[in-house]
Structure 1
Amino acid sequence: MAEQHGTTDHGTTKDVRQRRGFEELLAEGAAVPTEGWDFSWFEGRATEARPSWGYARSAAARLAAATAALDLQTGGGEVLDFALGAAAPKAPALTVATEGWPPNVAKATALLRPRGVAVVASPQDAPLPFADAAFDLVVSRHPVDPNWPEIARVLEPGGTYFAQHVGPRSVFELVEYFLGPLPPETSADRHPDRERAAAEAAGLEVVDLRAERLRMEFHDIAAVVHFLRKVVWMVPGFTVEAYQPRLRALHEQIESEGPFVAHSTRHLFDARKSKP
């Protein structure tokens, strides 16, 4: 530690400067819009390693071979928009997306309508508003809670479900920083083995299932605030006001020790509906 010099006034000035920086970062993280699944704002502020399978490009290859496709819980439509662009000109003749959060419905509609995609407002826990065997491909990136019977119902025999899921205890280093230690079984329903069993019980054959644990780094407190506002199920009821003491402590930790490190968990599902 460097030797401290100067008067009390000098120290106070330094404290004020640090405090202003913290408050400005809080305000910045709290002001960023949370609609959609565009994470470009985090550039230079937070990083997350990507799964080796490259979901969006892999989904594009599946879309290029499909005739009728459904994207579940599309968010702001960003991933589907990229995948359809990569799949062009062989994109499906029919592509539909669902989304349950009204701001995302509006954003996805504006983004996907030029590609001829209909965005249907549908709560994630409601039955899918489509006929039986309507699609030969169902895709999804980070569904909240896959409704396996409904997925199987809207797939035609031989159709495919191709998706990237969030695994158990994802980013729990950050979650437990704010909530304290959680029971080991927390989010166990997201374990790939449990999801495999649920998919098979619904009549799907799991062709491929891969899981990875990926490093994340948060480089400033604004990134933490925006992440927790955007991914609302991580710390339920999160607000800057309610967690300001913990946010300040984390800000000081990042300033003195470097990025806050956490780990996300992801798994890739490739499942097929059995033919009669």
Structure 2
Amino acid sequence: MPGYDDHVRWALSTAVEGFDFTPVAGRVIDGPLPWDYRALARRAVAEATGPVLDLGTGGGEFLAGLGPFPPGSAATEGWPPNVHLARATLAPHGVRLHALPPEHATRLPLPDATFAVVLDRHEDYDPAEVARVLAPGGVFLTQQVGSTDGTRLNGALGGPGPDVPEGVALAPFAAGLTRAGLNVERAEEHEQGRTFTDIGAVIWYLRMVAWQIPDFDVARYDAPLRGLHAAFERGEQFRDVAPRFVLAARRPAR
């Protein structure tokens, strides 16, 4: 069985790219949701009568699996380490990537009333900007992570709170879309939970999700990490909170 130092070496030497959690498959386990965002997004793309836009595409891996795409489709990304990867991933699919400055990542450098579908998987957005770029009759589909996501892990390690916006929850986000002039057609939330099975997976996860504990460093958090590793060695697992909600809204046809 790998010891603590073995886990640390693996976690620090294994690449984090885009938003690909394959290295910790079966070791960081999100519980099931009552909806399937991938299936919903794939259906929206298949039914699109015009270009598709994906907000905060990460490395482009998720979006690339939803094609083929109508001409003029695009994606945005505001996290600089992901921009080159996303551009390379999406170019063969005819999707143009727009790199956004992180401080203005919700401002869309895109024309009015252009996109039949706007997708958003976990990215912050401005409802007014989404409504502006949607074509009449166009659909906005988003799955969001609640503000309390991962806070049990932060507490267990004695870290600061996640560097995420407060108030990310179903009711205010649905109200924001309504104020922007969109008709909300679906609004659903669920607490799915997240399970970690070993300390290597925890460390790698905190490297990938860098905003979870902004000052995370293995040496800085040595004592609580070792304490959590001891619990794993006793056969325990660590269960965190992972709230999610999904919204679908449509711009009126007229």
Aligned to 1:154: 133
Aligned to 2:227: 249
Q: Is 2:251 the partner of 1:269?
A: no
- Residue by residue over 1:135-176, the C-alpha shift from the partner in whole angstroms, topping out at 9 and shown as x without a partner, is 111001111x22111111111222111111112311221122
Name the structure where helix makes up a greater proportion of residues: 1
Q: Is 2:213 the partner of 1:213?
A: no
Among 143, 146, 158, the residue aligned to 1:167 = 146
Q: Is the 8 A contact 2:160 2:213 kept in 1?
A: no
Aligned residues: 249
Q: Secondary structure at the match of 1:94?
A: coil
Aligned-partner Cα distance in 1 for 2:159–2:218: 17
Among 75, 80, 94, the residue aligned to 2:63 = 80
Aligned to 1:8: none
Q: Secondary structure at the match of 2:192?
A: strand
Question: Kindly tell me: are residues 179 and 274 of structure 1, through their superposed partners in 2, closer, same or farther at Cα, counting changes over 3 Å?
Answer: farther
Q: Is the 8 A contact 2:54 2:63 kept in 1?
A: yes
Q: Secondary structure at the match of 1:129?
A: coil
Q: Secondary structure at the match of 2:16?
A: coil
Q: Is the 8 A contact 1:30 1:240 kept in 2?
A: no
Counting only pairs closer than 5 Å after superposition, residues 1-276 of structure 1 correspond to structure 2 as 21-66=3-48, 67-84=50-67, 88=68, 91-123=69-101, 125-126=104-105, 127-143=107-123, 145-179=124-158, 188-276=166-254
Aligned-partner Cα distance in 1 for 2:118–2:153: 32
Q: CA deviation at 1:45?
A: 2.1
- Residue by residue over 1:80-103, the C-alpha shift from the partner in whole angstroms, topping out at 9 and shown as x without a partner, is 01112xxx4xx3222101111222
Q: CA deviation at 1:35?
A: 2.0
- Which amino acid counterpart does residue 87 of structure 2 have in structure 1? T
Question: Kindly tell me: are residues 187 and 254 of structure 1, through their superposed partners in 2, closer, same or farther at Cα, counting changes over 3 Å?
Answer: farther
Aligned-partner Cα distance in 2 for 1:177–1:197: 34
Structure 2 segments unaligned to the other structure (5+ residues): none
Q: CA deviation at 1:215?
A: 2.7
Q: Secondary structure at the match of 1:224?
A: helix
- Which amino acid counterpart does residue 78 of structure 1 have in structure 2? E
Q: Percent identity?
A: 36
Aligned-partner Cα distance in 1 for 2:129–2:83: 21
State the 4+ residue runs in structure 1 displaced beyond 4 angstroms.
none
Q: Is the 8 A contact 1:64 1:92 kept in 2?
A: no
Q: CA deviation at 1:43?
A: 2.0
Q: Secondary structure at the match of 1:266?
A: strand
Out of 132-141 and 121-130, give the one that drifted further: 121-130
Aligned-partner Cα distance in 2 for 1:175–1:266: 18
Structure of greater Rg: 1
Aligned-partner Cα distance in 2 for 1:201–1:164: 19
Aligned-partner Cα distance in 2 for 1:188–1:73: 19
Q: Is the 8 A contact 1:178 1:235 kept in 2?
A: no
Aligned-partner Cα distance in 2 for 1:39–1:158: 35
Q: Is the 8 A contact 1:56 1:82 kept in 2?
A: no
- Residue by residue over 1:106-148, the C-alpha shift from the partner in whole angstroms, topping out at 9 and shown as x without a partner, is 11112111111111111353411101111111001111x2211
- Residue by residue over 1:37-64, the C-alpha shift from the partner in whole angstroms, topping out at 9 and shown as x without a partner, is 1111112322112322111121011001
Aligned-partner Cα distance in 2 for 1:180–1:34: 21
- Residue by residue over 1:1-33, the C-alpha shift from the partner in whole angstroms, topping out at 9 and shown as x without a partner, is xxxxxxxxxxxxxxxxx9x81112112112222
